[in-house]
Structure 1
Amino acid sequence: MNALKHALSEIINSGSDPNPAMKMIIDSYAKYHAIMVIVCGGLLVLFLLLGGFFLYQLKKDTNKRFKFEKKVYVYFGSLSFILALFMTLLVVANATNTMNPLKGLSLAYEPSVSSEEIYTDELHLTFNEWIQKGEREVPAIIQKEIDGRIMMHSRNIIKYGIVLVISVTLSLNLWNSLIKKAKNNNLTWSLKDKGYFIMGNITVVLSVFSLIVVIANTQGALAPLTAFMVGFL
């Protein structure tokens, strides 16, 4: 990491062009954050549409009583707008690093004036040497780590993607069942109804968690060099 800090400092202070190795790192860093802008931007639109849908359903119900159905619309409408706000923050934060990756990298790996890290393991030494030489080709030991990152993130995308689909489908079925019973005045809050309500909330939490994991692993799978650096440096 010492070589990375020094190379960043030299590029910023002198305005010189980065060597091929540093250019690869800077481009990967920009791509890493651009992926978040695109994915979170799409989800921002989705959650705004969902929030608008639940708000429409709430206004469409002219019954003055604050029935269970209305409470569900308020719950999911509020959750949708909260997630939309969260996605907005992520888009703004990542857009900054996408447009100015060099500054973002320099802040993330700012040189320390108090002390210098001393590394003796082969991976760190090879990484430092690669940056110093500025070679375009990634050393085999680092490429192996990057390939491992791609495999790990890809497996997580598949695994948590399946969990996301199952939890969303199950959540829809549970909440629709409760709403249907409430409309027919059959919601007596029996043990079964309470179980549906608890499981409905659990599936909502699981869906949000799985979505976040899928987003993070998509970012790592498509920009594995930066993902490797985040876990390595």
Structure 2
Amino acid sequence: MESASVRAHAAVPFMSPMSETAVDAAIAALALPPRARVLETGCGAAELLLRVLEAHPGATGVGVDLDRDVLERARRAAARRLPGRAPELIAAPAGEAALPPGGHDLVINVASSHAHGGWPAALGVLAGLVRPGGLVLLGEGFWAREPSPAVLDALGGATVGELPAGLPALVAEAGRAGLTVVATAEAGAADWAAYEEGLAAEAARHPDPEAQAYARRIRERRALPGGTDTMGFALLTLRRG
């Protein structure tokens, strides 16, 4: 059986709180060469990768994720939406997928820095995967305010150091990895509400204990003081120098 998280995410466009409007605008603004090589790590159902390939008909793509169930979803969607142009989908840890250094025009990693050791280590890895002058589409969380112990516990025992302390800290760390910000978009309160309440509602439709517990955890955290405004999320378009 698919995990509760995978099943819940069937109800939302992406595995992040970014709106479709913001994501589609970021994709439309990407300046890619005609035969761009696109990579998405921690791709999940590869929705971002598929949208990039749809927007850039000459591009080719590779997606990497550990979860075979969610990759199967990606394969079905790719066969339907990109017949004859489906991306290669690799079920493996990103570090074991034999990805060529500097071999991509665009690298996508949204809500998946854990695929490269988490923040901030992932930034250097992503920069190394893209060619000089190429782009990274990065989606990463940050602390919009100092997290309380209760919020950290409700996030599964998270620690303060797991995320940057504000968007400026995220941007600064990207700069230290040799990446320059081209564009920035943030998820707003309405985006977060639609995302998390959508996940909880979908999970709650499933009767098994795992799904019910997943829905309950989301709702209990959102009810905490700071449960809806402690974490932010940004989608950054970055260029490697």
Structure 2-normalised TM-score? 0.23
Structure 1-normalised TM-score? 0.24
Structure with more strand by fraction: 2
Higher relative contact order (CA 8 A, sep 6+): 1
Structure with more helix by fraction: 1
